[in-house]
Amino acid sequence: MGDIYKIVDVAHRHHRPINNHPYLVELKNKYPIMGDTYNLYRLNNRIDLEPHRDSDRNCAVNIPVLNTEGSYTVFYSSTRTDNTQYHQRRIYDEFVPSELQEEFRFTLLEPTIINTKQIHGVINSESGHRIIFSWSVLPRYSFEDAVEFFTQYPHGVV
């Protein structure tokens, strides 16, 4: 397991290019809706990710890598639009949690299309580091477009 921690620590930045990885290029050629960048996200032990909305993408395919069993991805709604603060380093708009209403939550156990324009966060009660691989969908496609695209593959996409 130490190797994955090294990869995440060394590459701990947003928007890693897929062109450095032949297998990802092959997958992008097969699924042209996928973007040119991916992210590896790590949450430390029992650290949550505050409610936010991604500023730079409409949706992504999130794939669990390590210790996602003890965490929840939570989606929220808000009637206010003036309760955000933009974070340049994290490239998202953060929301005031007290002004949000939880809509639903799930545990990321398999590759999942995420609507990153909906307010979402992570509750991480896992005792180990939570790591996911998040591959952006091209910006010209909406969440609905991505869902429609991937329904062509009812038995999996790989």
The DSSP result for 11-55, as a single string, is T-SS-EEGGG-HHHHHHHHHSTTEEEEEEEEEE-TT--EEEEEES
Residue 9 has pLDDT above 80, yes or no: no
Q: What is the pLDDT of residue 98?
A: 63
* Tally of residues, the chain: 158
Nearest to 147 by CA among 61, 69, 78, 80: 61
Q: What's the predicted TM-score (pTM) here?
A: 0.81
Q: How confident is the model at residue 86 (pLDDT cuts 50, 70, 90)?
A: low
- DSSP labels, 100-115: -EEEEEE---S-EEEE
Domains in the chain, start-ordered, CATH in brackets?
2-147 (2.60.120.650)
Residue 30 has pLDDT above 70, yes or no: yes
